Amino acid sequence: MGGDHGPAEIVPAALHALQVHPDLELILIGQEPVIRKLMRASGALSDARLAVMHAPEVVEMHELPSAVLRTKKLSSMRLAIELVKDGKAQACVSAGNTGALMALARYILKMLPGVDRPAICTTMPGIHGETHLLDLGANVNPNSEQLFQFAVMGSELTSAVLNVPDPKVALLNIGAEEIKGNDMVKQAALLLAASHLNYVGFVEGNDIFTGKVDVIVCDGFTGNIALKASEGVAEFLRHHTRTEFERSLYGRFAALLCTPILRAIRRKIDPRSYNGASLLGLRGIVVKSHGGADRVSFASAIEEAILEVQKNVPDRISSRLEAILTQGPAA
Amino acid sequence: MGGDHGPAEIVPAALHALQVHPDLELILIGQEPVIRKLMRASGALSDARLAVMHAPEVVEMHELPSAVLRTKKLSSMRLAIELVKDGKAQACVSAGNTGALMALARYILKMLPGVDRPAICTTMPGIHGETHLLDLGANVNPNSEQLFQFAVMGSELTSAVLNVPDPKVALLNIGAEEIKGNDMVKQAALLLAASHLNYVGFVEGNDIFTGKVDVIVCDGFTGNIALKASEGVAEFLRHHTRTEFERSLYGRFAALLCTPILRAIRRKIDPRSYNGASLLGLRGIVVKSHGGADRVSFASAIEEAILEVQKNVPDRISSRLEAILTQGPAA
């Protein structure tokens, strides 16, 4: 159990998920004594749907994926992925070291046929609806064919978990005109335009938050920076809003009056409800929670995993890729 | 005179700038009858410090830079840059087609020695201070040496216009660890670490808005998308805030009470006061205003140009680059 808060937030999130989903079974993997103690503190009784597995090793947040692969054979992360591999669990949720999680998942679960590398995909809230954005950092330098694979995976995930029949797929670029952008996106645009996907063209950075399309595809370098920059601007706005409201007695009074409104706004835009990024392209379901996730946030990541299990996302991606390889380009 | 609003916003911005700066002289270039009419409507009398020059051609926002270079010899954009080239103006400010502005500026003014291509640089507000971010879209695929040139230019601009003696320069990356990122940033990191610049390492996307460093360098593809994504999230938050406050009578009452606070917040974070991106690396000063700029916003772009003239930014960049080429790497 990784992340900034570890079991202290993950155990309560797990107990909450068990309450909400009567059919859910969870295996908590980590430092068993710590987990048991937290379970007792939360008043959790022994439960047939809740198992605890001890993991003697810990993957630190700064460790290199290659070193983790070589040396940490008994970390909670590795044990969890092995349970998925062996069919003893249907999904793995982790708030730990992203690079290590990806390397282990790729090594143990293997890729689906037709996928070169996993991509990290998350849901972004938007003015007119949600958008799935990928890749968020798994592939810093993909080629156009890999971007095409991301598009297929993002499209299948969206149609599966959001029930969108034929998701609108776009490429992230620095302008909507065909002449803009680097060679990678221009080549990917040709591949997508010739495919059976519902490809709608290029969108710009601001469209990540308009909800104008269902899936936005980009390389992992750009996606990661766009995501972090967005977090940065939200934090900047929050900082100044708080500072101004707290500056004066009048401001504190006004803030008090606004409490119900601010609460309603927070419900709409709470990033915690969007926590849980999917590692797509693997022969199994792996969901990455934000490292700083609290219990509310981690519970969202568990929800994402449940949904992907129910919708059988890896099989859907696999079938779609097979169909594309068989049927060739659209007319 | 380009941009979404054209002379209707630019003329009032120009008249305002003349009032604020008693030594300023402006030449307004565009459709003369339209400009004269707007001047009369604003009650502007004839002024020795304000000239109007007619430009019979217009560069449209969607036109290809190559076509503009070839065919639009009498556009306001081209005439303005030629005035800079001929020493009849000290800076050009435009809200028009960015690609065309850059191509014309590069073709007419030429690059400074030691600079391959211009970079677009703007000031970003941050929690602990401002940061200059470049490139914002001029170079979608720079190499590491070009990133190094951006760093030099950004550092000189910052020390000139913000009076920061030895600006902290960072590279935008997807993690602070040295192993992260693509080859381009890794190579650029080596060049910067060996230079006399105050290079502090990698920062992540959220640091664009923390003000932790003075200059952040990235390729134009990433920079443009980070900037637009930030605009998108700000618009998304504004949308939901407005919607919730307007939803009920209570909300509208609360909003009224908050007016002074909201106004104070807006003063702190108003993107209009950060309008005006510098095209760096040219033998002359060219400032690009946001296409959607209103008069307040365009006036900020004029301010940026005035400051760069006062501080002689191109000469400073040129001297610094020459010093670097002469002195070689730091010990």
A107-137 pLDDT, tens digit each: 999 999 999 999 999 999 999 999 999 999 9
CA distance A215 to B192: 37
Strands of the sheet with A91-94, listed across from one edge = A91-94, A285-288, A277-280, A119-124, A131-134, A215-217, A168-172, A198-203
Whether residues B108 and B199 share a domain: the answer is no
Residue segments in chain B with a per-residue pLDDT below the cut of 50: none
Across A42-46, A246-250, B84-88, the highest mean pLDDT is recorded for B84-88
In a domain, A133, yes or no: yes
Mean pLDDT (whole number) for A206-230 = 95
Q: Find the mean pLDDT for residues A96-103.
A: 92
Q: Answer whether A236 touches B (CB < 8 Å).
A: yes
Which one, of B72, B140, B58, lies nearest residue B107 by Cα?
B72
Residue A257 CB-density burial (10 A; 0-12 exposed, 13-18 middle, 19+ buried) = middle
B63 and B11, same structural domain?
yes
Same domain, B64 and B16: yes
Q: Do A178 and A139 belong to one domain?
A: yes
- Assigned domain for B192 exists: yes
pTM: 0.92
Which band of pLDDT confidence, cut at 50, 70 and 90, is reported for residue A241?
A: confident
Q: Which residues pair with B170 in a beta bridge?
A: B201, B216
The dihedral built from the CA positions of residue A74, A77, A78 and A84, taken in this order, carries a sign that is positive
> Is residue A102 located within the same domain as residue A192?
no
| DSSP category for residue B57 | B
Looking at residue A182, its pLDDT comes to 86
Determine contact, residues A53/A85, Cβ cutoff 8 Å: no
Interface of A with B in 11-30 (CB under 8 A): none
| Binding-face residues of B in 264-303 toward A, CB within 8 A | 264-265, 268-269
Q: Given 3-state DSSP classes, what are the helix, strand and coil percentages for chain A, each rounded to the nearest 5?
A: 50, 15, 35
Instruction: Select the more confidently predicted residue: B242 or A203.
Output: A203
Q: In terms of domains, do A97 and A69 share one?
A: yes
Q: Of A109, A141, A162, which closes a domain?
A: A109
Side chain identity at A258, as an amino acid letter? C
The SS3 assignment for B142 reads coil
Rounded Cα distance, B101 and B78, in Å:
8
Structural domain includes residue A297: no
- The whole-angstrom separation of Cα A309 and Cα A84 is 11
The answer on B15 and B136 residing in a single domain is: no
Residue A45 has what pLDDT? Answer: 67
- Is A295 inside any structural domain? no
Query: With an 8 Å Cβ cutoff, are B245 and A228 in contact?
Result: no
Give yes or no: residues A96 and A124 share one domain. no
For A268-315, what is each residue's pLDDT tens digit? 777 788 889 999 999 999 999 988 889 999 999 999 999 999 999 999
**Structural domain count of chain B:** 2
Q: Do B127 and A236 touch (CB under 8 A)?
A: yes
CA distance A256 to B261: 13
CATH code for the domain of B264 = 3.40.718.10
Of the candidate ranges A51-60, A201-210, A242-251, B173-182, the one whose mean pLDDT is the lowest: B173-182
On whether residue A54 sits in a domain, the answer given is: yes
Please name the residues between 135 and 154 in chain B that touch chain A, using a CB distance below 8 Å. Answer: 137, 140-141
Q: Do A237 and B181 touch (CB under 8 A)?
A: no
> Mean pLDDT across the stretch A238-256?
86
Residue B176 CB: number of other CB atoms within 10 A? 13
In a domain, A175, yes or no: yes
Nearest to A225 among B172, B236, B269 (CB): B172
Residue A253 in this model has a pLDDT that exceeds 70: yes
- The pLDDT score that the predictor gives to residue A326 is 80
Do A146 and A248 lie in one domain? The reply is: yes
What are the structure tokens assigned to B118, written together? 């211009």
In the beta sheet, which residues pair with residue A50?
A: A26
Same domain, B130 and B238: yes
Percent of chain A past pLDDT 90, that is, above it, reads: 68
What range defines the domain where residue A51 resides? 7-109
Q: Is residue B284 part of a domain?
A: yes
> Which A residues in the span 157-186 are in contact with B, Cβ-Cβ below 8 Å?
172, 174, 177, 179, 181-183
> If you average pLDDT over residues A51-76, what whole number do you get?
91
> Is-contact B114 B283, C-beta < 8 A?
no
Same domain, A137 and A244: yes
Question: Is residue A16 over pLDDT 80?
Answer: yes
Q: Would you say how long chain B is, in residues? A: 331
Give pLDDT, residue A201.
95
| B230 contact residues in A (CB cutoff 8 A) | 205, 229-230, 232-233
3-state secondary structure of A201: strand
Domain boundary among A91, A109, A127: A109
A58 token code pair: 């810990």
- Closest CB to A64 among B179, B224, B229: B179
Tell me whether residue A145 is in a domain: yes
What is the rounded (10 degree) CA torsion for A224, A228, A230, A235?
170
Q: Give the least confident one: A28-42, A68-82, A258-272.
A: A258-272
Output the pLDDT for position B328: 66
Residues from chain A that touch B126, judged by Cβ atoms under 8 A, are 236
pLDDT of the residue at B45: 67
Render B267-285 in DSSP notation, one character per residue: HHH-GGGG--EEEETBSSE
Better-scored residue on pLDDT, A328 or A155 = A155
Please check whether residues B262 and B289 belong to one and the same domain.
no
CA distance A233 to chain B (A): 6
- pLDDT number for residue B198: 97
To the nearest whole number, what is the mean pLDDT of chain A? 91
Distance CA B86, CA B81 (A): 9
